[in-house]
Amino acid sequence: RVMPQSQNLSSLNLKHYSWEYATSGWNLNVMPVLDQSVLCHINADISGMKVPWLYVGMVFSAFCWHIEDHWSYSINYLHWGEPKTWYGVPSLAAEQLEEVMKRLTPELFDSQPDLLHQLVTLMNPNTLMSHGVPVVRTNQCAGEFVITFPRAYHSGFNQGYNFAEAVNFCTADWLPAGRQCIEHYRRLRRYCVFSHEELICKMAAFPEKLDLNLAVAVHKEMFIMVQEERRLRKAVLEKGITEAEREAFELLPDDERQCMKCKTTCFLSALACYDCPDGLVCLFHINDLCKCSSSRQYLRYRYTLDELPAMLHKLKIRAESFDTWANKVRVALDVEDGRKRSFEELRALESEARERRFPNSELLQRLRNCLNEAEACVSQVLGLVSGQDARIETPQPTVTELRVLLEQMGSLPCAMHQIGDVKDVLEQVEAYQIEAREALASLPPSVGLLQSLLEKGQQLGIEVPEAYELQQQVEQAQWLDEVKQALAPSAQRGSLVIMQELLVTGAKIASSPSVDKARAELQELLTIAERWEEKAHFCLEARQKHPPAILEAIIREAENIPVYLPNIQALKDALAKAQAWIADVDEIQNGDHYPCLDDLEGLVAIGRDLPVGLEELRQLEVQVLTAHSWREKASKTFLKKNSCYTLLEVLCPCADAGSDTSKRSRWIEKELGFYRSDTELLGLSAQDLRDPGSVIVAFKDGEQKEKEGILQLRRMNSSKPSPLASSRTASSATSICVCGQVPAGVGALQCDLCQDWFHGQCVSVPRLLSSSRPSSTSSPLLAWWEWDTKFLCPLCMRSRRPRLETILSLLVALQRLPVRLPEGEALQCLTERAIVWQGRARQALASEDVTALLGQLAELRHQLQEEPTNCRLEESPTYPATPDSDPHREGSGKDMPKQAPGLLSNVDSMTSHEKVAPVQGSGKTCLEVLSSLLPQLTGPVLNLPEATRAPLEELMLEGDLLEVTLDENHSIWQLLQAGQPPDVERIRTLLELEKPEHKGNRTRGRALEKRRRRQQQKIDLGRKSKDLVQEELQSKKARNSGIKPKEGQEEFEDETDSENIFLTSTDHRPILKGNQNTFHQNNSGSVVSFPSLTPLLHHSCPQQEEL
């Protein structure tokens, strides 16, 4: 067993739920010190009695036959573990058990008389039972208590591992057993745990703190103890001992005040000797102290014989106080003397019982019930006589309850002065009832009088039946007045909600003929109004929209209902919007010019949202679809695959071409989807795009800005160090490729327009030779000026650059559109610009100087064709496929010049079948032959004067800015090429890039680099362009209504397909001439027509193989 240490609960940091267990009376730490327990009057913490012990048991571990110290009660609680088996013998058979054990084991008891108190004796319960000792048995499981009574022997064993807690406690009925135990210990000469006499005297010293039952028991024990003490002290006097001395025995240690004979702890008195100061005896053993003379012996006492009766008297008063109090209460409650006690007197009796801790009896309960009933009556009376506000907040009593209260107050055994107030209230209520009955009996009743009586009844604070009838009459009159006002013709129309609320309120009031009639009329009106609301709701929500005439009829009929109908009002608003929409359509269709597409889209979006059937909406949808179809055709004609530009941006001049950083960053932003359009850079707002004059003026200004900007950009890029130079100086102004790196070394190409440098593997490059199928009689490869070495970077060449014939066919289709598009205006301006430039180019090519130079080139080409065979290729290489089968060009073959080789478009990949065929018979490829011819290239082949070169270069610059393919552009390029030495470095670079392995690496490298660049630049430009993107997306959403192509689109496609969009060179001249008259009427100068100057490059190859 484990003895725990005592600890103060206040020093423990317990949770609120743990504190309940810590302070519970069933807590074994609390039970010994409860007020009803005798042990609470012992100050010392007696281990095992006041302080619980903990027992850890194992299987078959046993505890021997024993009884508790001082024959006290014991309680054992099994916290957890296996059961504990108990064997017990009742206290009546305790002496019988002791006799049986002494008879069966006499040798043990002869040497140790108190053997049973040493917890070492085991005996089979069956043996005890065989000798007539009654034995009981029980199994204690976890969570169960076992209590043993005074002098009840018990033993047992554990059935397994468990954990238990045990402590002793003593109640008032234990006191006689405790006194008998001291006598038993005196016979056995056993030490006492505490002094029984000291415990009794300590409780008797403070009788007011004792429980009543405990006080009675202590008084009985104290009386017996005083009588015994008188007898013992008398025996001491008879022995001749007269000396006495007061001694505070409670201050002495227990071992210094024990009887030398019986080991009993002395308290009231003891006998000592002056000659033998080390010992003393109790008065039961005065002859066993010493052999000294009686004159040397003296009495040591705690109290005199006069003090003990005084203590006994105090206990008697405490024990008999309950009877005195009970007599007073009985007389007061039964009014035996005919006088009712006041409430304060009864409260004093109840307080006395609480302070003296009298037991809870029937008399005390009667007293408390009387006090509670009196308090309730007083509370009700205070509620009646208090202010009006306080009475309204509390439930009002009825007249019957008021009379019952008056009778109850008269029957209480206490006198209550508030009974007069109750009588006054009852008289007022009775007078009010008479007045209310007279008012209700008068016909017709006055609403004002009824309302005043109702308010007077509310001030009484009593629930009167007549007040309920008054309330019904007032509610009926008020409701009828509200209905009359709501349905009055002059009143403002009420909503359906108000009518429904009136109907709900009318259902709650009492019925009467007038109320029933008003309900019926209101219900009928509400039914009609809801029916019209349903009709209006159906018109607003139905998929099949109704024409305005039907809606007007519905609204006209619903106007007769004197109720505000939300759906009818919404239908009226929708009809007004529809009429305004029709007016807007008539105005825009009957204007001087065709309407703009944005205006039509806005009208279509508004018309679709209106719940009205509009005939004009279908016509507008067809017009919008036709315009979208034309714009889609134009986009397919101009825009490259996955182009980052819009059609309007491609058709407009590049106004910021002069800024290299701005232009490059804009192109990167467009690749990533974040950009500002060229129309914004031209200063065109959404409103300007609707005005043809504004578009034309901005276009003309943009042309000049584009030309000035490109010249500035060319000067700036020309000043940058060349990547092909052997020695380069450090400079901040260096070229940056589209990949973000600086181009350097072999493989770098310079754009012929902006003069900036790029990696050949990052951009699309031109083919050296024409993609036309060669013949055996073609001009030799030494005609290098006819090789296609012209390179335009992706920043300068923004579109597919279709031929003029294709653009003219789009303009013919545009003229049939009843809609104006910004793209159409821009296309007209672009076409006019191209035609003007074509006229200037033809005039320049038809001049005498240029005609002579062209003749020289033709003669030189003829001479090269007649050279001996040693100047020709021994074996003709096979050339690539024709333009129609060339997948490496963005524009289709019909958009490219038929006689001049075109530039390669910005396509980053080459299909697997585009390979360079080997030269037949020699095992050499065409590229190898071209590489071997590089040392033989000489030039210039023409002497091009500066006066001739400068206009041609200016024309070449303006032609390269055009997003249109013109034959004159290539003719001027050949003249300028023939007038300068061949660019061997560029040709060598192009040959390297034409090799199959370079093409594959260029394709894969460009794809990986492009993906990496996009990912990095999206992160860098994402935040900066977030707001700009939102504005662009919102403006686009506002302009585009998301119309799906239905009717109208097929009609336009049929029309455009039937117009022979891609015209032949002989068919476009009348159209071109007509368009020139239309778009450039001031250009009346003569135009000299001449054949194309771009020859076909052939080489002597008897057979051709298309790759």
What CATH number did the domain enclosing 38 receive? 2.60.120.650
Judge whether 219 and 319 are in contact, CB under 8 Å: yes
Q: How far is Cα 1097 from Cα 399, in angstroms, rounded to an integer?
A: 126
The answer as to whether 126 is a domain residue is yes
Q: Are 350 and 479 part of one and the same domain?
A: yes
What's residue 242's pLDDT? 86
What's residue 137's pLDDT? 96
Q: Are 51 and 103 part of one and the same domain?
A: yes
Helix (H, G, I), strand (E, B) or coil at 602: helix
Q: Are 487 and 526 part of one and the same domain?
A: no
Instruction: Say if residue 559 is exposed, middle or buried (CB neighbours under 10 Å; 0-12, 13-18, 19+).
Output: exposed
The answer as to whether 778 is a domain residue is no
Alpha carbon 179 to its chain centroid, in Å, reads: 76
What's residue 916's pLDDT? 40
User: How many distinct structural domains can be found in the chain?
Assistant: 4
Residues of the chain with pLDDT under 70: 1-17, 336-338, 359, 383, 385-395, 410-411, 443-447, 459, 485-486, 488-496, 542, 560, 655-692, 726-733, 769-782, 867-925, 996-1107
Q: Extract the runs of DSSP E, i.e. beta strands, from 756-903.
A: 757-759
Alpha carbon 649 to its chain centroid, in Å, reads: 44
The answer as to whether 164 is a domain residue is yes
Q: How far is Cα 819 from Cα 821, in angstroms, rounded to an integer?
A: 7
Two tokens, residue 1096: 């076909």
Two tokens, residue 381: 């009376």
Q: Are 551 and 477 part of one and the same domain?
A: no
The answer as to whether 717 is a domain residue is no
Pick the last residue of a domain from 446, 468, 491. 491
Q: Are 363 and 485 part of one and the same domain?
A: yes
Q: At what angle do helices 660-672 and 692-718 cross, to 10 degrees?
A: 120
Q: Are 20 and 65 part of one and the same domain?
A: yes
Q: Are 357 and 471 part of one and the same domain?
A: yes
Q: How far is Cα 560 from Cα 581, in angstroms, rounded to an integer?
A: 28
The answer as to whether 190 is a domain residue is no
Pick the last residue of a domain from 155, 171, 187. 171
Predicted TM-score (pTM) of this structure = 0.47
The answer as to whether 123 is a domain residue is yes
Helix (H, G, I), strand (E, B) or coil at 171: coil
Q: What values do phi and psi take at 341, rounded to 5?
A: -75, 155
Q: Are 486 and 510 part of one and the same domain?
A: no
Helix (H, G, I), strand (E, B) or coil at 71: helix
Please give the residue range of the domain that contains residue 446. 335-491
Question: CA separation (Å) from 164 to 9, 49, 53, 80, 966?
Answer: 21, 15, 8, 7, 111
Two tokens, residue 768: 């050296």
What's residue 1006's pLDDT? 55
Closest CA to 738 of 665, 641, 644: 665
Find residue 900's DSSP bridge partners: none
Pick the last residue of a domain from 588, 616, 638. 638
Q: How far is Cα 723 from Cα 736, in angstroms, rounded to an integer?
A: 11
Q: How far is Cα 464 from Cα 460, in angstroms, rounded to an integer?
A: 9
Preceding amide of 445 cis, omega within 30: no
Kindly report the number of other CB atoms within 10 A of residue 343's CB atom.
Answer: 19
Instruction: Say if residue 528 is exposed, middle or buried (CB neighbours under 10 Å; 0-12, 13-18, 19+).
Output: middle
Q: Are 52 and 161 part of one and the same domain?
A: yes
β-pairing, 244-246 vs 297-301, is parallel
Q: Are 515 and 476 part of one and the same domain?
A: no
Kindly report the number of other CB atoms within 10 A of residue 728's CB atom.
Answer: 13
Closest CA to 994 of 794, 739, 735, 771: 771
What's residue 890's pLDDT? 40
Kindly report the number of other CB atoms within 10 A of residue 534's CB atom.
Answer: 11
Q: Are 344 and 397 part of one and the same domain?
A: yes
The answer as to whether 559 is a domain residue is yes
- Which residues, at least 6 apart from 419, have a Cβ–Cβ distance to it below 8 Å? 406, 409, 410
β-pairing, 563-564 vs 757-759, is unpaired
Q: How far is Cα 273 from Cα 298, in angstroms, rounded to an integer?
A: 6
β-pairing, 73-81 vs 145-148, is antiparallel
Q: Are 483 and 534 part of one and the same domain?
A: no
The answer as to whether 254 is a domain residue is yes
